[in-house]
Amino acid sequence: MKQLVRSQGFGAIIGVVVMLVVFSLIDFSGWWTAQTITNVTQFTAILSFVALGQALVIMTKEIDLSVGSVYGLAGVAFITLEPSFGVPGSLVIALVMAAFVGLLQAFAVVKGHLPSMIVTLGGLFAVRGIIYVWTGGSVHNFSADARTHPVTRLFGGELFGVEAAIFWLVVVAAVLGIVLWATPFGNRLLATGGSRESAESRGVRTDRVKIWAFVLCSLLAGFAGILTLCNQPQTHVTLGENMELEAISAAVIGGCLLTGGRGSIIGAVLGALIVVSFRYELIALGAPSSWYITFVGVVLIVAVIFNQKLARFLGHSV
């Protein structure tokens, strides 16, 4: 029990339990249905990819506000480039573009010594502008052949009877968990966010660690966009709008400290589950969409306060 309390995802676990109890009391027959659970897990898997990348960046004491636009850019590139490069070719190009955006922003932060909030805010607007110019505001669809392509089916629909996005989330989260907790890179990433000066004194190349964190963050956001478009192959210019706020909220609810050096892979996934579940339930109960924005803001503040108090209780400096 003591080990559970000390885990970074403890707050998210409590949040999920409370959420399920409340939803069961107010809407049992509407919440515990196969269709509801399927929809919530599908949307949770997509948001989780973006939240996982955001968590890695936050652990290094930075933040990435551009992930929603990168998510949209990768999706648009995947669909619109398919007629010229085929499904596998457009998928690779879309991922390379996403990683390149992350790399550019990382260099601006690390080498330019600029605040990541400003750099990635600029990235958010710049990439969103590219999406508008590229698509001309029009909707693009996959061709019939592309929809039935093996690669499209591998990343969309179902895989071994499980929603493909959920299957991929399990794989990616397991790999990231191993990287974070069982490899030197994971130690260096947490050390960079915990105390950069101390990490550098021990030989950690913190600039390189931050660059990798930003690239992985953009890559995961782009991969989430591709998964979405494989399942629902239709682009629109608002694809991924406001997703950066949901991703940050999920990461923080999941135990990430904005002061860096502390975070959780499973916590980020549970945080995404909480955010998506409340959005779904508010819609199901007929609440105005503005209440969802209010919820995200309130929960984000509460999560920050809770995580800081928990960290201090466990003896960590924040």
5: pLDDT strictly greater than 60:
no
pLDDT-based confidence at residue 315 (cuts at 50, 70, 90): low
pLDDT in tens, 46-83: 999 999 999 999 999 999 999 999 999 999 999 999 99
pLDDT in tens, 243-268: 999 999 999 988 888 888 888 899 99
How many Å is the maximal CA-CA distance in the chain?
58
One of 1.10.760, 1.10.3470, 3.30.160, 2.60.40 is the CATH number of 4-314, namely: 1.10.3470
Question: In the chain, what are the domain boundaries?
Answer: 4-314
Q: What is the pLDDT of residue 292?
A: 77
> Phi and psi dihedrals of 290, rounded to 5?
-65, -25
Q: How many residues does the chain have?
A: 318
pLDDT in tens, 30-48: 788 888 888 899 999 999 9
Q: pLDDT averaged over the chain?
A: 89
Contacts of 281 (CB under 8 A, 6+ apart): 23, 27, 31
Supply the pTM of this predicted model: 0.92
Tokens 């963050």 found at? 217
Bridge partners (DSSP) of residue 162 are 159
Mean predicted confidence (pLDDT) in 70-97: 95
pLDDT-based confidence at residue 204 (cuts at 50, 70, 90): very high
